[in-house]
Amino acid sequence: MTLADDRAAVATAPAGVPHPRLSLNQATIKYATLDEALAVAAAAGIQSIGLWREPVQAVGLTEAVERVTASGLRVSSLCRGGFFTTSDPVARREALDDNRRALDEAAALGAPALVLVAGGLPEGSRDIVGARARVADALEALAPYALETGVTLAIEPLHPMYAADRAVVSTLGQALDIALHFDERAVGVVVDAFHVWWDPEVMQQIARAAGRIASYQVCDWITPLASDALLSRGMMGDGHIDFGPLTEAVTAAGYTGDVEVEIFNQHIWDSPFDEVVGQTVRRFAATVPL
């Protein structure tokens, strides 16, 4: 099937019932409140949602837990913790405390995983080796509390284009090198197709991640890149990623959890929530072989 045929097939696919493991990450409809996000997902028949801390905090944790419970949706993950590359002891302690609060929030919401973005190079530093070592140290400090809360710390390797300013964890292999030091209930990894699809070792590393995959996220790599590199994520089918082999590898590695669609894209953010969710359901069915 050519890309043109494939795109035509995707565009005309019927909406149908959402896959039971499809989870709408709330960032895909960034401007929705928690209530709006829960409502639009439930109305589309989606069974799971990936939440972010800010919209939860906007209504307060207790209230958020009640609303999520009332919606009948599962929470697939809470985004996000991390940002612990600083070498300043005070800032570091604050970051660890904030991650413990995020674990509490995830536990209250019933999220199995807290997604971690490692953080970039500290201001004024070019020492990426040191920053990476501090990520491993932070996990050492947080792992016991993760076990207590029953929430897995999910290290998300971000695409190498974010290594300087967002996340010094840049490959799945590197994330696993850290995670494998810990109890698998305490520390796992996120496989996000956008961040790892390019990696010549991605298949071997997904296999190596068996038992460690705490979250699987999908969205497409579109070209040209958005002028703001953070907003380059696209709807599945609009870009260059073949979700078939990646999804099969994640399944072969034993992952049975929800699969989040997480898209940062200004055009999608500017579209009506229900249209985005409808398209998400259709594209997911057409591109992600679960």
Binding site for a second copy (CB under 8 A): 2-4, 121, 123-129, 132, 159-161, 163-165, 170-171, 173-174, 177, 197-201, 221, 223-225, 227-229, 239-242, 245
Q: Which is nearer to a second copy, 110 or 130 (CB)?
A: 130
Q: Please give the angle made by the CA atoms of 268, 274 and 278, to the nearest 5 degrees.
A: 85
Minimal distance, residue 10 CB to a second copy, in Å: 12
Q: Which is nearer to a second copy, 4 or 256 (CB)?
A: 4
Minimal distance, residue 2 CB to a second copy, in Å: 5
Q: Which is nearer to a second copy, 61 or 128 (CB)?
A: 128
Q: Which is nearer to a second copy, 44 or 116 (CB)?
A: 116
Minimal distance, residue 131 CB to a second copy, in Å: 11
Q: Which residues contact 38 (CB under 8 A, 6 or more apart)?
A: 49, 67, 68, 71, 73
DSSP string, 98-153: HHHHHHHHHHHHT-SEEEEE-B-PPTT---HHHHHHHHHHHHHHHHHHHHHHT-EE
Strand-pair partners of 213: 189
Minimal distance, residue 288 CB to a second copy, in Å: 14
Tokens encoding 181? 């030091």
Q: Which is nearer to a second copy, 136 or 290 (CB)?
A: 136
- Cis peptide bond N-terminal to 283, omega within 30: no
Minimal distance, residue 26 CB to a second copy, in Å: 25
Q: Which is nearer to a second copy, 149 or 287 (CB)?
A: 287
Tokens encoding 232? 């380059």
Minimal distance, residue 5 CB to a second copy, in Å: 9
User: Rounded to an integer, what distance in angstroms lies between the CA atom of residue 102 and that of residue 150?
Assistant: 12
User: Rounded to an integer, what distance in angstroms lies between the CA atom of residue 84 and that of residue 97?
Assistant: 11
Three-state DSSP at 197 gives coil
